[in-house]
Amino acid sequence: MAVDIYSYPSCSTCKKAEKWLEEQGVSFTRHHIVESPPSADELKKLHQISDYPIQKFFNTSGKKYRELGLKDKVKEAENEELYDILASDGMLIKRPIVTDGNLVTLGFKEALFEETWKQ
């Protein structure tokens, strides 16, 4: 199995996720979520194949999220607008995102990775 991981090099959660994937023998392609964030169309696709509400794609604990005052905006805006907001800055996106094109996980929880990505 090969997956894509959207991560940030200095993110400790991303490092844990990548280490777990390596230990399980899951090959992955790393995408720097800040230097080349997923496009609005890519985010829409990830959202549609996931079981997550769009709000879960936001890094709500991030500085940028708070600076832009997105808490209320995320509750009220249409999905299309939210995809554009997320695509505008990789620091707004919950990380890591792992996908094989059919499944998506957000963040790193070992039990979820075991269930989703273990070969």
Number of compact structural domains in the chain: 1
The one-digit pLDDT tens for each residue of the chain (119 residues) are 799 999 999 999 999 999 999 999 999 999 999 999 999 999 999 999 998 999 999 999 999 999 999 999 999 999 999 999 999 999 999 999 999 999 999 999 999 999 999 87
- Angle between helix 79-88 and 40-49 (nearest 10): 120
**CATH number, residue 96:** 3.40.30.10
pLDDT-above-90 percentage for the chain: 95
Domain of 32, in residue numbers: 2-117
Strand order in the sheet with 97-99: 27-32, 2-7, 97-99, 104-106
pTM equals 0.94
